[in-house]
Structure 1
Amino acid sequence: MARAPVVRIGTSGWRYPRWRGDFYPEGLAQRRELEYIGSRFSTVELNGSFYSLQRPESYRRWRAAVPDDFLFAVKGSRYITHMLRLRDVETAPANFFASGVLALGSALGPLLWQLPEREEFDPEVLTSFLSLLPRSTGEALELARRHDDRMSGRAWLQIDGDRPLRHALEPRSVSFGEAEDLLRGHRVAMTVADTAGRFPLFDSVTADFVYVRLHGAQELYTSGYTDAELDEWASRIREWTDAGLDVYAYFDNDARGHAPHDAVRLAERVAPGIA
């Protein structure tokens, strides 16, 4: 019997002062905020990994704070996507996976690779990058073992089982409309990103799952979602699951604290009981 599609809805990050005493109960200790996220959602997007290499002990601490069936989506390093711009990236991904990502174990969900707006579609560059991405934790471990001296003494080089890995790409140039067949060939999801019209909204299905980022419908990172807008997203999610696709959706409209509340409201529409 085929497995039923899974819907996971959460937020992009969890450590925001604006949420304290609002979404988070008054007086909740900061060290327990992720634990609270784990009690309300089935997933969260870990975005500290975008800004710098984290440490194994951090990943282990985050894993211990959430339920066994919780998943972290992990945002790939901006050093790879924004500085190297996917070029000459043999060592950087090895360092990234050696930094502790694999310490999440069964809680490791999809990996997100967000590109800068200035990055135009280059078939050769993208093909090279996609071919490098590990498709299982076993492959990720082999890649991590090729880390450089920077990671000596702080690398995490073990797994508790070989599991499949999923990847999603979030381009911000309209030229990536030409990348759909290439992504489909590598089974990498084209992220469906709602950005108040600031960046293109790609909605082609290129993998066996859909990765959604909701940055704000009216004002980027700032505006909350109306009931009608959430109804529309709920309808789209049902269409994807009806087609047998898993869906991961993350709210990033956190500037005014809307993200966790909107995540709860969307989850109530499509996946009662997970939030």
Structure 2
Amino acid sequence: MAKGSIRVGIGGWDFDPWRGTFYPDGLAKTKQLDHAARHLTAIEVNATFYSRQKPATFAKWAAAVPDGFKFSLKASRYSVARKKLAEGEASIATFLDQGFTELGDRLGPILWQFAATKVFDPDDIAAFLQLLPATKDGLPLRHALEPRHESFRDPAFLALAKAANAAVVFADAEDYPCIDADTADFRYARLQRAVEDCATGYDDKALDDWARAARGWAKAGDAYVFFISGAKVRNPAAATALIARLG
């Protein structure tokens, strides 16, 4: 019996090749989020990585999606693209203060994606984790960490993440380490191997395997599964096919 819910989605919702493949021909761009939210159960927001958003923007997004839908927010590049993460206190505060709590119960995890050149430094990571609050404006926050250097495949890193109740991202990708570990009360997966010559991005066996994995992750708490990168044009089809398998 699953303990948590499973939410499945994609990165963003504005990508021109999805017009006519995921979005009906002629659908207004202003209706894309509404359409995506009726077919998916989560979206990982990329825009927050590149720039601050307005509180009114988050409120508008929240109003466009149904109950139970979640937005994961990618933390600002200014917070994570640095040699010493613990030196990013000001930029982390700027990110946290942009008004995303307007999402209310539509707020999912915050993704902190480290640079591929960032090497594991236990003291730095411990200090960085101290900068990530458990709540904001009374709203609980969940933090997911995506290291992209092999040095993070270290029990010391997993111990730090677990102590902070921060999920280590299960990143299924060609160029980055895939660390499969339970370190929080939720799991966060980013699946990045979709191929264009398969209509659903992944073949039936692969999708069955991901459905099995997601059910396993949900035994410990909520699970978030995002189809990211790879043949991006296929990611909505992959997500909807996985949702269908999960019932």
Give the TM-score of the pair, scaled to structure 2. Answer: 0.92
Please tell me whether residue 87 in structure 1 is matched to residue 64 in structure 2.
no
Please tell me whether residue 232 in structure 1 is matched to residue 209 in structure 2.
yes
User: Which position in structure 2 is the counterpart of 1:175?
Assistant: 151
User: Which position in structure 2 is the counterpart of 1:42?
Assistant: 41
Q: CA deviation at 1:226?
A: 1.4
User: Which position in structure 1 is the counterpart of 2:97?
Assistant: 98
Question: Are residues 45 and 21 of structure 1, via their aligned partners in 2, closer, same or farther at CA, if it must alter by over 3 Å?
Answer: same
Query: 1:189 touches 1:207 (CA, 8 Å); kept in 2?
Result: yes
Query: 2:172 touches 2:193 (CA, 8 Å); kept in 1?
Result: yes
Worse-superposed segment, 102-111 or 210-219:
210-219
Give runs of aligned pairs for residues 185-196 of structure 1, distance below 5 A.
185-195=163-173
Q: CA deviation at 1:111?
A: 0.5
Cα shift readout 1:34-80 (whole Å, capped 9, x = no counterpart)? 01111111211111001111222221221121113211101100111
Query: 2:41 touches 2:69 (CA, 8 Å); kept in 1?
Result: yes
> Stretches of 4+ moved more than 4 A in 1?
none
User: Which position in structure 2 is the counterpart of 1:184?
Assistant: 162
Alignment gaps of 5+ in structure 1: 139-161
Give runs of aligned pairs for residues 152-231 of structure 1, distance below 5 A.
162-178=138-154, 179-195=157-173, 197-216=174-193, 224-231=201-208
User: Which position in structure 2 is the counterpart of 1:122?
Assistant: 121
Amino acid at match of 1:127: A
**Residues in 1 aligned to 2:78 and 2:84: alpha-carbon distance in whole angstroms:** 8
Question: Are residues 231 and 85 of structure 1, via their aligned partners in 2, closer, same or farther at CA, if it must alter by over 3 Å?
Answer: farther
**Residues in 2 aligned to 1:70 and 1:247: alpha-carbon distance in whole angstroms:** 13
Aligned identity (percent) is: 40
Secondary structure (helix, strand or coil) at the match of 2:7 reads strand
Query: 1:194 touches 1:217 (CA, 8 Å); kept in 2?
Result: no
User: Which position in structure 2 is the counterpart of 1:143?
Assistant: none
Give the TM-score of the pair, scaled to structure 1. Answer: 0.83
User: Which position in structure 2 is the counterpart of 1:259?
Assistant: 235
**Residues in 2 aligned to 1:106 and 1:137: alpha-carbon distance in whole angstroms:** 13
Secondary structure (helix, strand or coil) at the match of 1:118 reads coil
Query: 2:71 touches 2:106 (CA, 8 Å); kept in 1?
Result: yes
Question: Are residues 14 and 137 of structure 1, via their aligned partners in 2, closer, same or farther at CA, if it must alter by over 3 Å?
Answer: same
Query: 2:49 touches 2:75 (CA, 8 Å); kept in 1?
Result: yes
Query: 2:133 touches 2:141 (CA, 8 Å); kept in 1?
Result: yes
**Residues in 1 aligned to 2:97 and 2:27: alpha-carbon distance in whole angstroms:** 33
